[in-house]
Amino acid sequence: MTPLETEIREMIASDGPMPVARYMALCLGHPRHGYYMTRDPFGARGDFVTAPEISQMFGELVGLWAATVWQVMGSPDDVRLVELGPGRGTLMADALRAVTVVPAYRAALSVHLVEVSPVLRRRQHDTLTGLGVPIDWHSDVAEVPDGPMIAIANEFFDALPIRQAVKQTDGWHERMVGLDDERRLTFALHPAPVRGLDAALPPRIRAAPVGVLCEWRSDEPVAGMARRIVASGGAALVIDYGHIESGVGETLQAVAGHGFADPLSAPGEMDLTAHVDFRALGRTAASEGASVFGPLAQGEFLRRLGIEERARMLRSRAIGAQGEQVERALTRLTDGGPKGMGELFKAIAFAHPRLGPLPGFDT
């Protein structure tokens, strides 16, 4: 049993079953035993690989996207480039390197990294110091100093806690993590329906038959960012895996060693994620007054930003096996199907209402 499982069993024994969201938050962010708090999970020897770790092209194109947004904003001489959940700092390093071609933008930048994990903060520090741009760390995007910002979040929102409820004859009952007769972790439904949930759900989900499961996240992280952008200017780009339309069904998954696992089997030692509901994200940003662009499949987004031309250029300069690596990365980042990220992953942006069109979303 993992040390976190011992703690969670004790919590449930004394306070009763906990919502799936609380379980997920503990598994990922428990100060001593949380998955992200104790390790660097990325790379071939880690648990999973993300787009910026697959190829430098991803961070470069996102970096140039942000530089173009800065120009669309009227090239302000002071802008915060914010990244939520920067992992190893790879995306930001590639983004900063790519924009040396826009020196006025680079000079206007301060970088703000929103990161909870002390291990990953150290890693980001090692990757990014010495690049000639001021960098600050924050635990929450609300701590980023006031002013115009361009925010980037790749594979961040999927790690935010998800709530789940199952439709019963008398309403939606929240799915909880409790203990079975042998004190093992198990899923169980709360005896009373979640108050107000039915009215808040889109009509298609509300009409679902008994037994159907739905998932949702707190609107606050997106709403807070959108409010700031509407008040002080700027834009945000969110890339993640998920669905364009809000739907029903479970997407909570545990990943360890590049394979799927039981979400209750080793708390704190596996990554727990769930699909991002892009429709809900866009709705939240729009309800705060932001303009919303997309969602759009990642493959299409990257092609519009010029990934094929960039790959061609890298291939022409490649030595030995590098050319093949560029080709494989291009396929992985843009292709549909089970092996590619091109269709499963989506991009969405929201911005100050007077800003636009935004690169990649304008055709």
Binding residues for ligand SAH, rule: CB under 6 A, are 28-29, 36, 42, 50, 52-53, 85-87, 91, 114-117, 120, 154-156, 159
Q: Which two tokens stand for residue 4?
A: 């976190």
- Residue among 164 and 298 whose Cβ is closer to ligand SAH: 298
Note whether 14 and 21 are within 8 A (CB).
no
- Residue among 48 and 187 whose Cβ is closer to ligand SAH: 48
Closest separation in Å from C-beta 129 to ligand SAH? 17
Closest separation in Å from C-beta 264 to ligand SAH? 20
- Residue among 127 and 186 whose Cβ is closer to ligand SAH: 127
Which residue type occupies 133? V
What distance in Å separates the CA atoms of residue 168 and residue 197, rounded to the nearest whole number?
13
Q: Where are the beta strands (DSSP E) in the chain?
A: 18-19, 79-84, 109-114, 135-138, 149-154, 163-168, 171-179, 185-193, 213-216, 234-243, 253-256, 259-261, 271-273, 276-277, 291-297, 345-351
Closest separation in Å from C-beta 274 to ligand SAH? 13
What distance in Å separates the CA atoms of residue 27 and residue 5, rounded to the nearest whole number?
9
- Residue among 137 and 198 whose Cβ is closer to ligand SAH: 137
What distance in Å separates the CA atoms of residue 288 and residue 222, rounded to the nearest whole number?
9
Closest separation in Å from C-beta 191 to ligand SAH? 30
Cβ-closest residue to ligand SAH? 85
Note whether 96 and 62 are within 8 A (CB).
no
CA torsion angle 289 290 296 300 (round to 10): 160
- Residue among 160 and 351 whose Cβ is closer to ligand SAH: 160
Q: Which two tokens stand for residue 78?
A: 């002071």
Closest separation in Å from C-beta 174 to ligand SAH? 21
- Residue among 28 and 99 whose Cβ is closer to ligand SAH: 28
Closest separation in Å from C-beta 237 to ligand SAH? 12
